[in-house]
């Protein structure tokens, strides 16, 4: 169990470090598949480990400019609604949770592959090179203010992120990163750093709600997965500038689908 817990954690941290999203999409099925944990307990452990890993990612990217207003809006919405999702998880059957998680994984895998096929005129790298980390943000300001439609979309993104985080044990980066790049106008590097900040707080909120509602959890396994997550995040942060985005996204999609298939065949 020790080696398995550490390896699951490394996967969480590595994927988060490279893409700013998706770590728990692997963690939940791997914990259920390799350690035969119930889906509810797997989501709780995944939330805790993702929160710890994302915190290190934020520290690693402290030099990247985070645009605080839209990020704060997403963050607050996510933190408030994560307990709602965690409560909903307790009302659904194990099969219902599995179907919900499967549909989410299929959608994310499809979107990742679609993004990898996008034109090179669009930003399709998981991160830019080191010099891009200091690139000046180009937010979609109007007369120095954030337009209401952008902030409304940020609120909705936060709410969706929170509910999905609590319900399925996912950090929500796959929702946050596209919103921050396409709607708010951040660079990919800024969006990933901002996503990790939001994920850290939202996953923490979902984890605390899980602890409050369900109580029991294998704290030893949580610690192992969290330590593995820190190692993976450190490696992901180092590799992020060296891995081409389209290659990373296609590999991410294939691994997600294979993991989901193994989960259903178990």
Residue-range domain boundaries for the chain: 2-265
DSSP-based three-state secondary structure for 169: coil
pTM: 0.70
* pLDDT by 10s per residue, the chain, length 266: 788 889 989 988 888 877 666 677 778 888 888 888 888 888 889 889 989 988 888 888 777 666 677 778 888 888 888 888 888 877 878 788 778 878 877 887 787 777 666 634 444 443 444 344 334 444 455 445 566 777 787 788 788 878 877 777 666 676 777 777 766 777 767 777 888 888 888 888 888 988 888 777 888 999 999 999 999 988 887 776 676 666 766 777 787 787 778 767 76
- Cα(35)–Cα(107) distance, rounded to whole angstroms? 26
In DSSP notation, 117-136 reads: TS-TTS---SS--GGGGGPP
DSSP-based three-state secondary structure for 51: helix
- Cα(67)–Cα(88) distance, rounded to whole angstroms? 32
Task: Calculate ∠ Cα 212-215-218, nearest 5°.
Answer: 130
Q: What is the phi-psi region of residue 169: left when phi exceeds 0, alpha when psi lies from -120 to 50, beta otherwise?
A: left
């Amino acid at each position: 169990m020790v080696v398995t817990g550490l390896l699951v954690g490394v996967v969480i941290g590595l994927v988060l470090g490279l893409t700013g999203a998706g770590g728990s999409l692997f963690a939940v099925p791997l914990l259920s598949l390799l350690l035969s944990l119930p889906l509810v307990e797997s989501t709780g452990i995944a939330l805790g480990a993702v929160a710890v890993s994302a915190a290190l990612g934020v520290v690693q990217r402290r030099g990247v400019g985070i645009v605080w207003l839209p990020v704060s809006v997403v963050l607050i919405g996510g933190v408030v609604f994560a307990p709602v999702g965690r409560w909903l998880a307790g009302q659904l059957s194990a099969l219902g949770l599995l179907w919900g998680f499967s549909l989410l994984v299929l959608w994310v895998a499809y979107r990742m592959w679609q993004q990898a096929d996008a034109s090179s005129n669009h930003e399709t790298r998981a991160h830019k090179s080191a010099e891009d980390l200091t690139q000046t943000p180009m937010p979609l300001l109007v007369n120095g203010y954030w337009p209401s439609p952008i902030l409304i979309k940020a609120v909705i993104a936060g709410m969706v992120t929170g509910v999905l985080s609590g319900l399925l044990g996912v950090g929500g980066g796959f929702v946050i990163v596209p919103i921050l790049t396409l709607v708010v106008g951040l660079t990919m590097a800024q969006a990933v750093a901002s996503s990790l900040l939001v994920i850290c707080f939202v996953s923490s909120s979902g984890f605390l709600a899980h602890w409050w509602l369900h109580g029991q959890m294998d704290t030893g396994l949580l610690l192992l997965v969290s330590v593995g997550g820190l190692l993976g995040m450190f490696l992901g942060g180092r590799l992020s500038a060296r891995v081409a985005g389209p290659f990373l996204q296609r590999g991410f999609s294939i691994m997600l689908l294979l993991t989901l298939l193994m989960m259903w065949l178990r």
